[in-house]
Chains A and B, each alone.
Chain A
Amino acid sequence: MGSATSRKFLLLGPLLLFLGLAYVVPFLGVVRWSFTLPETGFGQYIAVFTDPLVQSVFVRTLRICLIVTAASLITAYAIAYVWVRGSSVQRALAEFCILVPFWISVLTRAFGWLAMLSNRGLINTWLQSAGIISEPLALARNEFGVIVGMTHFLIPFAVFPIASAMRSIDERVLLAARGMGSSRSRTFWTVFLPLTYGGLIGAALIVFVFALGFFVTPAILGGGRSVMVAELVYLRIFQSPDWGLGAAISVVLVLFIAILLALLRRFIKPAHMVG
């Protein structure tokens, strides 16, 4: 058994090697910068936790990520429900909605939303020509635009763990509830929903962690006005150049995500996260 197990580890070899070279080694370099640039010490970390600009970006990032997570979960839940329990036509339609986003690049989608939401975009033009509004609504180049774009991108990732939790519900349990006189809505709230909590937690984790590192969508739809953490790192490294602070922010972000994952692993089985 020992040799069979070690042979399986061998299969993981290429992946581990890739992860090591592409992520771990560069990350160690980033950690070094954070303590050495521009001078050796904890200075950059003190800045991360005291600089009002960095603070406000962290707070905005958390706020946006929480809203995006909530919005993605609710929408994904509805889509997953139709995908798992709908008629065959509804299922095909839901599947289409889930898969299409994977074929279009994140950049294309961000610009697509810009075309919809900007001041001269489709929505504002329609509303103005219909006479409903006189001044264009501020839909893009702000937090709202960022949230819309990110939610749209992340919904499919939330659908999979939720749908997998829904699929594993024993149909007879739902029949049993109905047979005891429980109405459809009561059965949903007291039986169906609680049985999908595992999938919801997994989906929330995936979406939230993914959202924390978002770069392209906030950069385009935020128009520089709602900078998120990843964009801040980019600005520090490529524009200011203030590599030490950029590196320290990255390290804090990675640690935050690691702690989050570790905490959640204690409460749910990994199988539930991906389904």
Chain B
Amino acid sequence: MPQSMQPGDAKAAEIKAISIGKTFGAFHALKDLSLDIKRGEFLTLLGPSGSGKTTFLMILAGFLAPTSGKLVMDGKDITNIPAEDRSYGMVFQGYALFPHLTVEQNIAFPLKVRRQSAADIKRRVGEMVERVGLVGHEKKLPAKLSGGQQQRVALARALAFEPSVLLLDEPFSALDKNLREMMQEEAKRLHQETGTTFVFVTHDQSEALALSSRVAIFNHGELLQAGKPQEVYERPANRFVAEFLGEINLLPLDTVQLDGERAAGRFEDQTITVNKSSALAGRAALAAIRPEHMVISVEHRKDNCNAITCRVEGATYFGASTKYHLRTRTGTSLAVSMPTATTSPIEPNTNVWVSWPEHQGFLLPNGS
């Protein structure tokens, strides 16, 4: 690839957001939010609608001024630098292509702003058109393109001038599933090829986990946790993060005891052992286990140290996996996801054992 750069290239920027606050009237859209965006990383901002993701992105881009806090890029305070001087690439929700300009002219726009020579612009536009697979569509107006093609133009336009940061606000939310997956792959590839720092907003948790090198989870204008996809999925900091990233089973434990590298507590009349969390020692807590980490068996399996008896209430078939809905003796409901290929179907109303290895469970504070 011509002009491709390696991650960590000098072109990519790092940004530190320090105690950013943003109020609209009396409403706090962002509360004391600190987040380090590392050079060349693919950071995803994930959170429910209204959690402040777009607001934070707009502040990063310079379209909104924070009410408090500051932004530092590569060691320089940029809090008061206007958007046109920051010049990050940006892909807006709904594309925001120039409707009166052709594909070519859209991509050339940022290059013309930078007063590049006609020859350079022509070469670069050709390169970008090829890179996002739009050869043959150069002379079309955006209205004549499909949603996925418009999305590609937006990506090409945002990357054409080699910005040090690319901000993307729910770029794929309007696309159907297949196209979305294709575009996700493309975004990933473009990130690797350009080495630019990507900040990507979504409220789709699987998209966040699949794409990013790090995920930052927002709720009510607060940053709840930031970490690698495995970290936030397997070791969520609280119940909101755990539940937002996917389905999870929560078993209330009475007093938690520490036991070396493990913690244990009682659920119904069983002892449940999970990974240690010293903060919760001596208190009531929740044992949290993902549905795909549990197995259902008719016999009591001795290889998994945690096992409880349940009654099967129903099943949902998902193709590759089947999800069973179960209820424990005292009425706590559970979901267990089993690969369809390797399990024989289990009839409703059967009494079964649900078991899981102790390292797959972790503790969450009881409450919310």
Contacts and interface: CB of A to CB of B under 8 A. Distances in A.
Interface of A: 170, 172-173, 175-183, 186, 190-191, 194-195, 197
B92 A181 contact: no
Given A179-B87, A180-B87, A172 B92 contact: yes
B97 A182 contact: no
B92 A183 contact: no
Contacts of B113: 180-182, 186
27 contacts: A170-B94, A170-B96, A172-B93, A172-B96, A173-B96, A173-B97, A173-B99, A175-B83, A175-B92, A176-B90, A176-B92, A176-B96, A176-B97, A179-B62, A179-B63, A179-B90, A180-B87, A180-B110, A180-B113, A180-B158, A181-B85, A181-B110, A182-B110, A182-B113, A183-B84, A191-B98, A197-B100
The 10 closest A-B pairs by CB, nearest first: A180-B110, A172-B96, A176-B96, A181-B87, A179-B90, A172-B92, A194-B100, A181-B113, A182-B113, A178-B84
Given A173-B96, A176-B97, 18 more contacts: A172-B94, A173-B97, A173-B98, A175-B92, A176-B90, A176-B96, A178-B83, A179-B83, A179-B86, A179-B87, A179-B88, A180-B89, A180-B109, A180-B158, A180-B161, A186-B113, A190-B109, A194-B100
Nearest to A170: B96
B99 A195 contact: yes
Contacts of A183: 84
A241 to B, nearest CB: 54
A15 B86 CA distance: 58
Contacts of A182: 84, 109-110, 113
B101 to A, nearest CB: 8
B326 interface: no
Contacts of B83: 175, 178-179
Which size class do B's interface residues fall under?
20 to 34
Contact of A175 (B96, B97, B161): B96
B123 interface: no
A186 B85 CA distance: 14
A109 to B, nearest CB: 37
B85 to A, nearest CB: 7
Contact of A179 (B61, B94, B98): B61
A176 to B, nearest CB: 4
Q: Which of A173, A180, A197 has the most CB of B within 10 A?
A: A180
Contacts of B92: 172, 175-176
Contacts of B302: none
Contacts of B177: none
B40 to A, nearest CB: 20
B76 interface: no
Contacts of A194: 100
Nearest to B160: A180
A175 B94 CA distance: 13
Contacts of A172: 92-94, 96
Nearest to B94: A172
Contacts of B109: 177, 180, 182, 190
B251 to A, nearest CB: 46
A193 B340 CA distance: 59
Interface in B151-186: 157-158, 161
A176 B96 CA distance: 7
A176 B158 CA distance: 9
B162 to A, nearest CB: 12
A258 to B, nearest CB: 30
Contacts of A197: 100
Interface in B104-127: 109-110, 113-114
B76 to A, nearest CB: 17
Nearest to B100: A194
Interface string B39-79: 00000000000000000000001110000000000000000
Contacts of A179: 61-63, 83-84, 86-90
Contacts of A181: 84-85, 87, 110, 113-114, 161
B49 to A, nearest CB: 18
Nearest to A194: B100
